[in-house]
Amino acid sequence: MSKRFDVGVAVKALVKAALPNSKVLGMEPDEAKPSNVDDFGLVIVRSGDPGTPDVDLSPPTYWYEHQFPIEIAARSREQLDTMMTAIGDAIVADRFLGGLCIYLDAQAPVDGETQSVGVAAMSWADFPIIATYSTTSPLG
Residue 92 lies in a domain: yes
| CA 27 to each of CA 8, 14, 83, 85, 121: distance values in angstroms, whole numbers, following the listed order | 8, 14, 20, 23, 27
DSSP helix/strand/coil, 110: strand
Q: Average pLDDT of 84-111?
A: 96
- What is the SS3 string spanning 3-70? HHHHHHHHHHHHHHHHCCCCEEECCCCCCCCCCCCCCCCEEEECCCECCCCEEEECCEEEEEEEEEEE
Q: What is the band of 20 on the pLDDT scale with cuts at 50, 70, 90? A: very high
Q: What is the band of 108 on the pLDDT scale with cuts at 50, 70, 90? A: very high
Q: What percent of the chain has pLDDT over 90?
A: 66
Residue 136 lies in a domain: no
| CB-CB contact of 4 with 140 (8 Å) | yes
CA gap 117, 133 in Å, rounded: 45
Residue 13 lies in a domain: yes
What does pTM read for this prediction?
0.88
Q: Average pLDDT of 111-125?
A: 70
58: which residues sit within 8 A by CB, 6+ positions away?
none
Q: Average pLDDT of 91-118?
A: 87
Q: What is the CATH number of the domain that holds 37?
A: 3.30.2000.10
Q: What number of residues does the chain have?
A: 140
| CB-CB contact of 30 with 57 (8 Å) | no
| Structural domain count of the chain | 1
Residue 26 lies in a domain: yes
Residue 42 lies in a domain: yes
Residue 137 lies in a domain: no
| CA 136 to each of CA 5, 103, 111: distance values in angstroms, whole numbers, following the listed order | 14, 18, 37
Residue 93 lies in a domain: yes
Please tell me which residue, 49 or 6, carries the higher pLDDT value: 6
Boundaries of domain holding 115: 3-130
Residue 17 lies in a domain: yes
